[in-house]
Every structure is written in structure tokens, then in C-alpha cells.
Chain A
């Protein structure tokens, strides 16, 4: 699976930011605002 654009949300401070995600190459995530690692990849909106 190729790298794709996703939205990340920090569960520490609530900051949302865009980033890249590749299922085969999982990278360590750190919130750029509060440095927390509780960064969640938000699910993509469902196609209509």
C-alpha cells in the first residue's frame, strides 16, 4: 500500500495536523505542539 495523506489528532492536546501514512512503514508519531505520542490517525471520511 502506498503512502497516503491522512489527518492526525493528538489525544494529549487535541491538536490536529496533516501527515503521511504508510501501512507498511509505520513511523513513530509525535505531536508537533505538545510532543505527546498519543497521536491518533483519524479515519478517512467514507466515500459517498
Chain B
């Protein structure tokens, strides 16, 4: 951190928050709120005189509440910049000044009660998101008694207690009697790998080795302390991790395979009794301990939603920010020019975070040094003759790549070609067909539908498949030599979000018995959230089919990933079965209904045009 603070090419903006990000790769405009510190960081020498005279004491967040801090304080000993900060929420008041003692004793006169937040605008070419993670709050695991028993602490609290810079200067004591505990237990996977609705289903990655490290620290500092670790699996998969785990065992740490179901406190001694089923022996055991540490898992930052919004990112089902591709682009965000580093992407240890940060910095510097970037060839374009300035396209775009139109000033929507990724959701949603996709124009897709249904339409299953997942899933089924019916005719679109309502209606109008729309699973969507528009559109379409008297289940939707070749084959078999239930009479009836609908729509459009023309003549 010191290196970062002193680096001539790095401007460190601490105690600041990003308020807004606009623009696109190479041209991001970032608005940063530099919060009022009330202490000039350039002048402050961290002498600490101000803190000594401050009469306010509040729990110190950095020390997990084990000690107190003043209203004016150094956030933590290694803080960069090494300058004090005044928390106005804790201060007795600055308007009017209620105390003013800190200002009186400050020799450098660097305390300014009238300091204000400042908004700073900066221009950057690329952005690296490295906002980290939060830790899981174990209070919902009531059986461990975290809120009831003082001697039950979390692994974060343990870190402060064992740290030389902590509230006890590294003397590990238990909270109830400030004595060294003779026996300490660790419970693993608190809030991780949970299937009971509490906590999270994923592995937090770092807790096992953190506990192994903690046990070794205890063995080193306090030989003779009885240490027990209650676990379901020890995941020691990194370089040298297994050695560390073995060393911990050799030091006498007992690893018991079983997660305790109950923790009871002795009201006098404040000792704890754990009941656990040892799954190795199959016996129910009771363990008496003087202190218990909960190895809490990690969770995505609680303000991740704001980050998502600022940088138009998406999250995986566990809430961490999704990368562009899990194997080939693990540090790239789906938004061009944005990279991810550390636990913002997934739980990871220091080594992996450093590796990913290095990769993100390298990826960023490639873009910056090149000074130019390749943009997507398949992008949206606006037809100015058709646009009616409704602004729907800019609402739909998952990349915020469309600058909104304005009906009053007749300003057309502007598509930022560098930011457009080519999902086509805008083209599909546009009610005027005023947006077209290069290489995936309406006419091109319509021609494919007409071509497929030109002969024996009643035998064809029209399948729209997204380029990245479903189409690749079909490839996977083929290369895996899986058997599936030959009735399916695939029409590739870049995203299922590109599948326009009129493509589906046209297929039914031309005699298709069934239409299948397939795309990526929501968590895998190559275009952030474009896939959600597919779901919304199909909801509307199913209702429309119902109203027209067409069976809604003739339009099917499936999410098939590139690896799900088996699912692709299975879906195709199911579609074949459904296809067999559609009779020729039903198909003919549908064609008739839709022909009439088309005639009605044409007549309506002509009448509207006539009215507009006569209104123009009248005016």
C-alpha cells in the first residue's frame, strides 16, 4: 500500500466513492466523491495529539469492537495516507463547535471543521474493479450461540485477538475472564456449503487454510493449548497447503469430522460444551472447550448492486460479479474496458487475488498501450426513417450503449458502436423495426424461416439457438454422437434476446407446428442480462397466443449451456413428442388465424397512414 501511495503514476483517492461512470472503453468519465476528512492529509503528521484530547470514545470497527477509538482517529496503523480522520457522526458537533479540543492542540493547524465533500471528474481508459468482499454474519446459526455466549467468536475477531497490533497486543485471551483459554475449538463452513437455506451454498475457499494457519499460530504462541477443529472436509488444494495441514496435525491439533449441532455454556465457568456427531466413528460426542471460533465464510460485498449499476455488470447466482468467460477471459468483465481483480469476482485467497490483479493490470495495460481496440462487427444500427423516438431501445440495452432519443427535439437514439456488444435485444424490442443488427437483419432471419418451412412445414421444428450456449450445446450433442430427432432446424442468433416476436409469429403463419427458443442460462448470459428480455418477451407471447386461440405450449423455451449436449438432445426428443401432438387441422387453423390477424394489422396501419396524411394536408 505504501508503494501504491508513493508511486508517481498512481493517484490514490482514499475515503472516496465512485458516484457515476459514463462512457465506454477508452473514454470512461468517472465522478468521484472525495468525502470530507476534516483533516488535511498532506499536513497531518499523525502525531496523535488530537486523538488524545478527544472526549468521545466509540467501538473501534477495525478491532472488531474489542477496543475503542476516538471521534478523530487513524483508521488503522498502516493506513495510507497516514493521516487522521474526523468522523462527524461521532464528533460532538461542528456547527456550532461543541468541543474544538482537537483543533486547539493541532500544531500543524490541519483540522478544518468546514471541510466539504468534493466531486472530482476524471477521465480514464479502463477500469479495474477490485472492491473485495464482506464476511458472513453467523448470527442466524443460533445453535452456535454467537449472540448468546461471549466466548464464541468469529475468525475475524480471532485475527484481532492474536494480532500484535490488536486490542490485546497479541495476547490471546478469552472475552469473559481475560485469561488464556486452555482449550479452543474451531467450527468450519459457518455460512458456507450450506444446503439448509441458511448461509450460502458455495465454498468460501479461504476458511480451511485460515483455520490451519490459526491453529499453527496458537501452537507456536501457546504450546499445550488443546485445539480441536470440527469440519466436514478440509480443502487444502493449493501449493504447500497440504504440508501446512499435516504440520498442524503433527503439532497435535485434533481434526474431528463432524459439524456440531449444539453449543451450551456453563453459567459459572462460561466454558462451552459442544455436541457433535463424529462421522468418522459414527458416535455422538461431547467436547468441553473454553473458547470457540466460528470460521465464517465470505459473501459478496453488500453494495455490489451499486457496482453492477455503475459498470453495467452482472452477477452469478451467488452474488459475485460475473466474468466475461470463466476459462478464457477470467479477469475481463462483460463490459469492454472493465476488468475484475480479487474477491469481487469470487472468494479467493491472497495468492489468487494477487495473480488475478496482475492479470487484470496486464490486460488493462495492453488496451492502454495499444491506444485503440477492436470493436464488435455485429452491432445495432438505427434507421432514422422508421424511428418514432420512443426510447425503448435505450431501456433494453444491457450495456447502456444507446443514448436515449428525445421525442420533443426529434433526437434519434445514438448507438455507441464501441460499447455495443451485439446482443440484438434492442432490435427485437423495437416496435417500429427501426433498429437493425448488422449480419442478423430481420430480412436475413425471416429468409431462413421461410426457407425451412418451404417444404413439409408440418414436420419442422423451428429452433432459435443463441450463438454462445445453445448452438454450442447442439454442437456438443453432435460431437458427443448423442441421438436426437432430425426434425429440428436451428436458426442461430447471437443472443436469444434477438428473437423478435414477429419471427415466431411468421413461423406459425407459415405452418410451423412448434417453435423452440433456446438461450444461455441466466448466470451464463454472454450479454449481461439480455436473456431476461427473452423471458419477458415469451411471457407476453404466450398470453398473445392464448388470446388468439393458439395453444401456448407450441412455443417452448429452454436454457441450454454449451456443455449441456445431453440436455440439448433430451429437449429435442421432448420437442419431437410434442410436435407429434400438433394436428394438421390445428396448424391450418393457426395459419388462418394469423393470416386474418395480418390483414387486420395491415388495414389498421393503412388507416393510420391515411389519417396522418389527411391531418398533414389539413394543417
Contact = CB atoms under 8 A, between A and B. Distances in A.
A33 B556 CA distance: 16
B521 interface: yes
Contacts of A27: 522
A46 to B, nearest CB: 13
A38 B556 contact: yes
Given A26-B532, A26-B535, A40 B559 contact: no
Interface stretch (B58-66, B179-187, B536-544): B536-544
Most buried by B among A12, A38, A40: A38
A28 B556 contact: no
Most buried by A among B553, B555, B559: B553
Contacts, number: 38
B574 interface: yes
Nearest to A27: B522
A38 B516 CA distance: 9
B459 interface: no
B557 interface: yes
A11 B552 contact: yes
A11 B556 contact: yes
A43 B546 CA distance: 11
A43 B553 contact: no
B542 A37 contact: no
Interface string A1-36: 000000000011000000000000011110000001
Given A11-B542, A11-B552, A26-B535, A38 B522 contact: no
Contacts of B433: none
Contacts of A43: 543
Interface of B is mostly: helix
Nearest to A40: B542
A38 B559 CA distance: 9
Nearest to A34: B574
Most buried by B among A28, A39, A41, A43: A28
Contacts of B552: 11, 40
B535 A38 contact: no
Contacts of B226: none
A38 B539 contact: no
B558 A36 contact: yes
B557 A41 contact: no
Nearest to A11: B553
Contacts of A28: 521-523, 535, 559
A3 to B, nearest CB: 15
A27 B522 CA distance: 7
Contacts of A12: 553, 556, 574
Interface of B: 521-523, 532, 535-536, 538-539, 542-543, 552-553, 555-559, 574
Pairs A-B, 7 closest by C-beta atoms:
A11-B553, A28-B522, A26-B532, A38-B556, A38-B557, A40-B542, A37-B558
Interface of A: 11-12, 26-29, 36-41, 43
Given A12-B553, A38-B553, 7 more contacts: A11-B556, A12-B556, A28-B535, A29-B535, A38-B556, A38-B558, A41-B539
